[in-house]
Homo-oligomer: A and B are copies of this chain.
Amino acid sequence: MGKAHSYGYRVAPMLYQLPVDINVAAIAGRDAKGVESAANNYQIPRWTTRWQDLIEDPNIDLIDICTPPLTHSEIAIAAAKAGKAIICEKPLAITYAEAAAAAKAVADANVPNAIGFNYRRLPAVSLMKKMIDDGDIGEIILWRCTWLTDEFADTATPFDWRFDRKIGGSTIADLGCHVIDLALWMVGDINRVNAHSTTFTKFRSSPEGPKEVTVDEASSLFLEFASGASGTLEVGRVGVRRPCDMLIEINGTKGTLIFDYSNLNELKFGSSSEDIKTYGMKTIRAEHTTHPFSAHWWPIGQGVGYGSSFVNQIADWFATWPKGSWSPDFAQGARVQAVVEAGENSAKTEKWVSVKN
């Protein structure tokens, strides 16, 4: 994530006219060797192993948190108290209570705050949101997403921290939080969740013998939106030859939108208002100068990648410097965490669970 954030800070000022010069002044990390090397790679002049050093420095205006999830809320709350603007990688915390505390801290401190749900700023995803807001698909009735990776697909992969629920995040949380953010953003509040989780390889080898895997390898969720729409979400890390394949489809009363991350510069769109003679769906090339972000990048047809989302979010956020108001913010981070937690609880209890709102 450090690489992606550095890329964002480095490229945004070149492609966008920002009202402020961005100066990445210092980096903190637990391991001296690692943080020194990162500082060199990303050409950051100063490094430290105490993150508190950055928060205590009056010359630093903004704290960007890319540490492991367990530490997010603590750092964020400290930074808020110090009056810093804050960008925090997802998830905001590993429990809803902590996420809500961090959201309260930034509200109390009244500092600009953002959470790194970067997929929102892929041009095609932004266009999807814009088309929904423009009424192009009418009222949303069905939302679905499948996100498959092959991270855990090899049953011979030995046990490590990712398989230990005390340290590693659930698959619902790790993969799910990004797309739950998108669902809340595009469709609105989620009232209730029903989830089913499975772990197929229940034990994995370690030097001390087989260890029990305590995270879910795959989970499915039903989502009941406040609007009356229904959602289906499946996340899994055991899909052979599925490197990082996220597919989102939204069906509205007047149209359908489909985003396939494996072809991220395209957006599929079907509309019932189009002539039946051309019945079908259109593959929008989401790179036209009139599309979100695209005028700042390359001519249509050339394509951007994952990295562009980090550039675009930096550009959006800093465009309003120093006041904010940034989006998605910590409040949204907490809202996502509430859905994640409801999903994790439902998988345990095998019942519908209401989302804390």
* CB pair B280 A251 closer than 8 Å: no
Q: How far is the CA of A239 from the CA of B256 in the complex (A)?
A: 7
* CB pair B222 A272 closer than 8 Å: no
* CB pair B279 A285 closer than 8 Å: yes
Q: How far is the CA of A13 from the CA of B44 in the complex (A)?
A: 12
B residues less than 8 Å from A262 (CB atoms): 265-266, 285, 301, 303
* CB pair A280 B241 closer than 8 Å: yes
> Chain A at the B interface: mostly helix, strand, loop or mixed?
mixed
With A300-B244, A352-B350 known to touch, is A282 a contact of B278 (CB < 8 Å)? yes
Cβ proximity bits A263-300 to B, threshold 8 Å, 1 near / 0 not = 11110011110001111111111011011000001111
* CB pair B194 A301 closer than 8 Å: no
* CB pair A304 B306 closer than 8 Å: yes
Q: How far is the CA of A131 from the CA of B332 in the complex (A)?
A: 45
Asked if A321 is at the interface of the complex by the 8 Å CB criterion, the answer is no
* CB pair A253 B155 closer than 8 Å: yes
Asked if A313 is at the interface of the complex by the 8 Å CB criterion, the answer is no
CB closest chain-B residue, reference A13: B43
Asked if A109 is at the interface of the complex by the 8 Å CB criterion, the answer is no
A148 contact from B194, B251, B261, Cβ within 8 A = B251
B residues less than 8 Å from A154 (CB atoms): 272
In the complex, chain A residues 330-357 whose Cβ is within 8 Å of any chain B Cβ: 350-352
Cβ proximity bits A109-139 to B, threshold 8 Å, 1 near / 0 not = 0000000000000000000000100000100
Asked if A236 is at the interface of the complex by the 8 Å CB criterion, the answer is yes
* CB pair A242 B270 closer than 8 Å: yes
Q: How far is the CA of A3 from the CA of B256 in the complex (A)?
A: 31
Binds B, one of A58-66, A69-77, A80-88, A226-234: A226-234
A136 to chain B, nearest CB (A): 8
CB closest chain-B residue, reference A149: B301
B residues less than 8 Å from A261 (CB atoms): 301, 303
Asked if A7 is at the interface of the complex by the 8 Å CB criterion, the answer is yes
A53 to chain B, nearest CB (A): 23
* CB pair B284 A278 closer than 8 Å: yes
* CB pair A141 B238 closer than 8 Å: yes
With A242-B256, A261-B301 known to touch, is A232 a contact of B234 (CB < 8 Å)? yes
With A146-B144, A239-B142, A240-B254 known to touch, is A281 a contact of B278 (CB < 8 Å)? no
In the complex, chain A residues 236-250 whose Cβ is within 8 Å of any chain B Cβ: 236, 238-245
* CB pair A301 B244 closer than 8 Å: yes
Asked if A52 is at the interface of the complex by the 8 Å CB criterion, the answer is no
Asked if A91 is at the interface of the complex by the 8 Å CB criterion, the answer is no
* CB pair B306 A302 closer than 8 Å: yes
Asked if A307 is at the interface of the complex by the 8 Å CB criterion, the answer is yes
> What 4 new A-B contacts, CB under 8 Å, besides A142-B238, A198-B230, A304-B307?
A141-B217, A141-B238, A262-B303, A276-B288
